[in-house]
Amino acid sequence: MSGVSDKVLNREHDVRATEAPRCQICSDYSKTTALQAQEQRQKHCDYDRFNGGDQWSTDPNLHFRHCMGYPLNQVRGWAQGQTAERQNELASCPSAATQAMCRRVATHAVEQRNAIDTKTTTGFCGLQGLDNSRWNKDYNVHYRGCLLNPQTSPGEEAARDAHLKECGIIKKAGPATNPAKPGEACNVGVVLKLVACNNQYDEPVDYFNPGDVWPACGLGATDQSARSAAMSSFASVGLILNNPPAAGQCSYTSTTIRGCSCGD
């Protein structure tokens, strides 16, 4: 009635024809997504640690604005796909034990990557040609990947450790012979072998094979002094022995050899 052109009227009509159905799709999507996010928190799935919490935010307005950024010919399929993906993740919500395992896995993965970054390496010991996701620097990438596929995490850890061992970055303990202290008579040798190790949460470490670590031998005047020397050998490579092991420690077996010898 104000005398605008047909071109302007048609453009306004087209915009409303586009925005109205997209608005309805995104309104429904945002409500459903907020409910899924609330369920995720109630189940303690721990998914909202990622992407700043946006993907699993309980704020429907955030999801609505994100959804409205898609064109009409894409938004319905995108919204359906996002809803289905979250529902699948809710159906496989990890247990508290799995979450604890994944925190360890992610921490270890970053440590493994840092081990390469802090050592000058060339050729095979570099990361050229290796799976980038396996060696990602981001803790959250490993943690989320583990939550979604916990069965693959031990194999990924083992593959990284194998690479580090080939490069000589991971050192095996021994077969160190720790001699008696200067001036001390050497009457006995004690050989210690690892049995199992616990992590910082006092849980068995399932990605570490103690059988891969060579035994350590200590020499001394008494069984106690020789045992202490052998333990020092393990401590020098970051392994603390104790029976029974506390958090961050390893259990062991002990063999005493009479005479200043390690049995070899």
**Per-residue pLDDT tens over the stretch 214-263:** 888 889 999 999 999 999 888 876 788 999 988 878 899 999 999 888 87
Number of domains forming the structure of the chain: 3
Angle, to 10 degrees, between the axis of helix 6-43 and the axis of helix 60-67? 140
Q: Give me the pLDDT at residue 76, please.
A: 93
pLDDT classification of 38: cutoffs 50, 70, 90: very high
Quick one: which of 131, 89, 79, 139 has its CA closest to 109? 139
Q: What is the distance between the alpha carbons of residues 216 and 230, in angstroms, rounded to a whole number?
A: 6
What pairs with residue 140 in β-bridges?
A: none
User: Which domain-ending residue is among 73, 91, 109?
Assistant: 91
User: Which domain-ending residue is among 62, 91, 120?
Assistant: 91
Residue with tokens 């928190």: 41
| Statement to judge: residues 157 and 198 lie in one domain | no
In a domain, 87, yes or no: yes
- What's the mean pLDDT in 102-109? 85
pLDDT classification of 32: cutoffs 50, 70, 90: very high
User: Which domain-ending residue is among 131, 146, 166?
Assistant: 166
Quick one: which of 58, 55, 69, 57 has its CA closest to 25? 69
| Statement to judge: residues 244 and 205 lie in one domain | yes
| Statement to judge: residues 185 and 251 lie in one domain | yes
| Statement to judge: residues 37 and 62 lie in one domain | yes
Strands 177-178 and 216-220: parallel
| Statement to judge: residues 186 and 250 lie in one domain | yes
pLDDT 10s digits, 179-219: 888 888 899 999 999 898 887 667 776 656 677 678 888 89
Quick one: which of 136, 84, 144 has its CA closest to 114? 136
Task: Name the residue range of residue 51's domain.
Answer: 6-91
Residue type at 146? Answer: C
CB 228, CB 252: distance < 8 Å:
no
